[in-house]
């Protein structure tokens, strides 16, 4: 069915189709529309689910953890400070190997209060053991949310997945959405270690260094295994529903001399910049990175790279720029842009490419 909806509504629609048994959530701008929609689905009887209106995000993730360990599908959504308030429990969810799916509407962190797009919120969760995908369109927000459940619950993964969409730029922007007839794309959830009084166990009791170390290795091993699971989930999605996704979305990269790398909506904006640059005779391309964790294998051999980070690690640099330097062994032009919802147009992006200084870092609009 074709509709015109916001990014938030698209996420809620996908979450409804995935049929979670428990949704525990707390409102925060610009995510609130997602959980309002979930509450309405439950209230209208469209979704057979318990909606727990918790008193904080810490409790939202805690309640999802308590529900998930009984073996039922769970979903929540948050943003910014809400995500950071959850931080203890996001670690817990991954460590407890619970396939919780969460939408995070990317938003800047205070102070001062800023409700607009920035990736710093989710980037602060990058080492927790969550898989993280970043989307750029309403359609992709819907598709990625559906795929998230299938990936998280795969027996080789059993880790939580976070679907990230840019605050307002995508969460509140109307675009067309084609929903799918899900069929058996997401198999029933089977948690091999669900709580069962017939087989009593202590979960998460005191754990010595040997076992602790082993559990951490198992998270990493599952993270590695998740690469194939992600590829399979995306391939199957393409086969069934006709829309294809991969680690990155590459645009006119084949013969490019210079590639713009960005995430989320800026990654889409970069495609327009590429067209503009091509008209000027600059052979540009763009790569929109979709997965932050696990981080994709990238190859920019023979190309110059301009990285736009909508995030920053103070005292270190743009996280994606540094990641590409580390993973690909290349020098890049690192642009910090779009923090706190700063407007970055395709013309601005074209400017970054024209004026690139490989090896340097540039803070757009402030230096």
Partner 1 sequence: MAEIPKEEYLFKCTTACAGCSSSLSLRYIMKAAGHDSVLVVPACCTAVLQGIYPKTAMNFPVYNVAFASAAAVASGMSAALRSSGKKTNVIVYAGDGGTVDIGIQALSGAFERGTDFLYICYDNEAYGNTGMQRSGSTPFGAITTTTPVGKGENKKDLAAIVAAHHPPYMATACAAFPQDLFKKVQKALTFRGPTFIHLLAPCPPGWRYPTEKTVEMGKLAVKTGVWVLWEREYGKVTISSPSKAAIAKPLPVENYLSVQGRFKGLTPEQMRKIQEEVDHHIRCIQKEVDGTC
Residues forming the site for partner 1 (CB under 8 A): 21-22, 24, 48-50, 52-56, 58-60, 62-72, 74, 88-89, 92, 195-197, 200-208, 211
Distance, in Å, from the CA atom of 265 to the CA atom of 269, rounded to the nearest integer, reads 6
Burial of 95 (0-12, 13-18, 19+ CB in 10 A): middle
The secondary element (H helix, E strand) that includes residue 252 is: none
Nearer to partner 1, 203 or 316 (CB): 203
Closest CB 322 distance from partner 1, rounded Å? 31
Please calculate the CA angle 250-256-262 and round it to the nearest 5 degrees. 40
Q: How many residues does the chain have?
A: 367
Closest CB 56 distance from partner 1, rounded Å? 6
**Residue 363, token pair as written in the block:** 């803070």
Closest CB 245 distance from partner 1, rounded Å? 31
Distance, in Å, from the CA atom of 41 to the CA atom of 44, rounded to the nearest integer, reads 5
Question: Residue 161 region, left (φ>0) first, then alpha (ψ -120 to 50), else beta?
Answer: beta
Cβ atoms within 10 Å of 26's Cβ, excluding its own: 24
Nearer to partner 1, 206 or 366 (CB): 206
Closest CA relative to residue 51, chosen from 69, 33, 67, 71:
67
Nearer to partner 1, 48 or 236 (CB): 48
Nearer to partner 1, 63 or 335 (CB): 63
Closest CB 216 distance from partner 1, rounded Å? 14
Distance, in Å, from the CA atom of 4 to the CA atom of 175, rounded to the nearest integer, reads 5
Nearer to partner 1, 58 or 81 (CB): 58
Closest CB 135 distance from partner 1, rounded Å? 27
Please calculate the CA angle 256-259-263 and round it to the nearest 5 degrees. 140
Closest CB 125 distance from partner 1, rounded Å? 16
Nearer to partner 1, 27 or 71 (CB): 71
């Amino acid at each position: 069915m074709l509709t015109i909806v916001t990014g938030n509504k698209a996420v809620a629609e996908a979450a409804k189709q995935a049929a979670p048994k428990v949704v525990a959530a707390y409102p925060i701008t610009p995510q609130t529309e997602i959980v309002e929609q979930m509450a309405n689905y439950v209230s209208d009887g469209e979704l057979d689910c318990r909606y727990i209106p918790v008193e904080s995000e810490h409790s939202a993730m805690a309640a999802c953890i308590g529900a998930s360990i009984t073996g039922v599908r769970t979903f929540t959504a948050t943003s910014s400070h809400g995500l950071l308030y959850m931080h203890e429990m996001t670690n817990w969810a991954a460590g407890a190997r619970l396939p919780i799916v969460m939408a995070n509407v990317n938003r800047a962190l205070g102070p001062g209060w800023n409700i607009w797009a920035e990736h710093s919120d989710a980037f602060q969760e990058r080492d927790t053991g969550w898989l993280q995908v970043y989307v750029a369109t309403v359609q992709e927000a819907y598709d990625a949310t559906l795929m998230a459940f299938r990936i998280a619950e795969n027996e080789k993964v059993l880790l939580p997945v976070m679907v990230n969409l840019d605050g307002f730029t995508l969460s509140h922007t109307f675009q067309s959405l084609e929903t799918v007839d899900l069929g058996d794309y997401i198999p029933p959830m089977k948690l091999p270690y669900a709580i069962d009084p017939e087989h009593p166990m202590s979960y998460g009791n005191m754990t010595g260094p040997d076992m602790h170390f082993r559990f951490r290795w198992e998270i990493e091993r599952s993270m590695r295994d998740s690469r194939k699971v992600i590829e399979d989930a995306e391939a199957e999605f393409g086969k069934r529903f006709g829309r294809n996704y991969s680690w990155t979305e590459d645009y006119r990269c084949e013969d490019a001399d210079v590639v713009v790398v960005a995430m989320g909506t800026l990654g889409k904006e970069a495609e327009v910049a590429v067209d503009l640059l091509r008209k000027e005779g600059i052979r540009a391309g763009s790569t929109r990175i979709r997965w932050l964790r696990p981080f994709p294998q990238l190859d920019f051999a023979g190309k110059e790279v301009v990285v736009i980070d909508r995030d920053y690690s103070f005292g270190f640099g743009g996280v994606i720029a540094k990641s590409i330097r580390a993973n690909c062994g290349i020098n890049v032009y690192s642009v910090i842009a779009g923090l706190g919802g700063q407007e970055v147009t395709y013309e601005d992006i074209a400017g970054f490419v024209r004026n690139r200084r490989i090896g340097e870092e540039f803070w757009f609009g402030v230096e």
